Structure 1
Amino acid sequence: MNVALGSLPAEPGRKNEDFAAVASGAAVLLDGASVAGAETGCVHGVAWFSGTLGALLLRTVTARPAWSLAECLADSIGVVRSLHEDSCDLEYRASPTSTVVAVRARDGVLEHLVLGDSALLLAGRDGSSRVVTDQRLDEVGARLRGAVDELPTGSPEHAAALAEYRDALTALRNRPGGFWIAGPDPRAAEHALTGVTPLASLASVSLLSDGATRLVDSFGLASWDDTLAVLNSSGPDELIRQVRKAEVEDLDGRRWPRGKAHDDATAVHWVLP
């Protein structure tokens, strides 16, 4: 496999709650999340949750080729739950969760699964590109953000509004009419976006956390084709560098309102032979 992987935490010295890994013919990317400033009810933390789930998912995806990716994810969520349900409060409103992107090459096709607002960028040999991302979280969030986008990022007022927003968002997590994300309940996997693409039609496959897609979907400074061009020419590290450069130019979020000035950013770029 010809794969490049880059990842940076939101701030130096902080834990990176993104996780990405590759194996022969497969890759996964997870973006861990919790309610900002709130206790998670988990003694292990968000980075442990996304890393443990990601490692188990990659193992299951490769070890169980007859299982669908949704079945692999459901099983992995169940295993992670068994690892800490005796020590952690998994019914707590801010219990750790994670987006999931997983791909697997098998029998001449690329299988994919996307749950949450991370993105899968599929580049065709004919020059076309297609993005698979779960918009349900963004659609719910747009209804609830209220004053968050009107306040300077990092200010006490913004922090208070953000906590209220995320509390309201949590109430709609893994519920009909809300959004779906990997957490304590394996049934969330049933709501993932899944599909297959002929391998022969693909030039590359890219898995991106939302911290790495900000130039496109938050800042409007680049297109998906621009993102693909950077990945092909310079790789994930350069893409993340460009994201950080834009973030520094708008630390208070006046130009581009957002929950936090910087976010964990991760990209996996797999060039197919």
Structure 2
Amino acid sequence: MIRTAERAAPGRPTEDRVFTTANAVVVLDGVTSTRPPDNNGAWYAQTLGEELVDLLASGGDLADLLAAAINRVTTRHGLVPGDSPASTVAIARWTGTEVDTLVLADSPIITFGRTTEVIADTRLAALRPITASRVPLLRNRPNGYWVAEADPRAAHQAKRKTLPRSAVEKVIIATDGVSCAVDDYQIFDTWQSVLDLITEKGPEAVLDRIRAAELSDPNHTRWPRTKTHDDQALALINFTE
């Protein structure tokens, strides 16, 4: 069973996307270029997600499939590395025996079962002390961070993990508009607390809790950030139902 919740930051369309298939969930968080071409982050996340869903149907290694999807979008639309929209990518795909996960940039995957595993790409977060104007210069570079953009090589820099299906009961996939609640705001002490709230009241309740916390800090003093609200996307895969 798959449950999802999505919400745009007030005042603009969301750049987050969630795609589901019979045996996979793909979550993306689009990033508009600092020098925008005709298409923005929402368009890129949508277009890349559609390509990924098409390729996932054929099976194969997740990084290879992501590289192929990035290459398709780049070629068809004439995108230029360093001057194009981009997107985080998080994929969970399962068979009867395994759960494969891939995380590129800051949209983590959390698995629950015998143990709780957090599959996260923290390279962008590690650059936070660097000024915002310099961060784009470190995109898809060694000692920088990696994201889906116009360079297929980024796909093979993703964080990967494969777990036995028997060891996984539930999976959460989230964009940073949700993961901030654990990593930054700490309004949930653990991801288990997030799962407990989803179980009790549904995934929308998690988004509500985050929005309420952000509204309680309108001047960004308790939680320094560049904007009051971010887009939110959350997916729960429940193998026990």
TM-score scaled by structure 1?
0.84
Matched, 1:57 2:44: no
The amino acid that maps onto 2:105 is G
CA distance in 2, matches of 1:182, 1:108: 28
CA distance in 2, matches of 1:224, 1:32: 23
Match of 2:127 among 140, 145, 148: 140
Matched, 1:233 2:200: yes
The aligned residue for residue 94 of structure 2 is 105
User: Cα offset for 1:140?
Assistant: 1.6
The amino acid that maps onto 1:19 is R
CA distance in 2, matches of 1:231, 1:213: 14
The amino acid that maps onto 1:113 is L
User: Cα offset for 1:230?
Assistant: 1.3
The aligned residue for residue 39 of structure 1 is 35
Match of 1:185 among 151, 162, 165: 151
Asked whether the 8 Å contact 1:64–1:72 carries over to 2, the reply is: no
- Between the aligned residues of both structures, percent identity stands at 31
User: Cα offset for 1:29?
Assistant: 0.2
The aligned residue for residue 19 of structure 1 is 17
RMSD: 1.3
Structure 1, gaps ≥5 residues long:
145-164
User: Cα offset for 1:51?
Assistant: 0.7
Matched, 1:78 2:71: yes
SS of aligned partner of 1:203: strand
Q: What do residues 38-82 of structure 1 show as CA deviations (whole Å, max 9, x unaligned)?
A: 432x21211000111012112211x221x1000010000011112
CA distance in 1, matches of 2:3, 2:41: 25
Asked whether the 8 Å contact 1:235–1:269 carries over to 2, the reply is: no
User: Cα offset for 1:107?
Assistant: 4.8
The amino acid that maps onto 1:119 is P
CA distance in 1, matches of 2:30, 2:68: 18
Asked whether the 8 Å contact 2:31–2:40 carries over to 1, the reply is: no
Matched, 1:28 2:26: yes
SS of aligned partner of 2:227: coil
Question: Which has the greater radius of gyration?
Answer: 1
Matched, 1:120 2:109: yes
User: Cα offset for 1:166?
Assistant: 2.5
Residue correspondences, number: 239
Match of 1:196 among 129, 148, 162: 162
Match of 1:48 among 39, 43, 46: 43
TM-score scaled by structure 2?
0.95
Match of 2:186 among 220, 229, 253: 220
Structure 2, gaps ≥5 residues long:
none
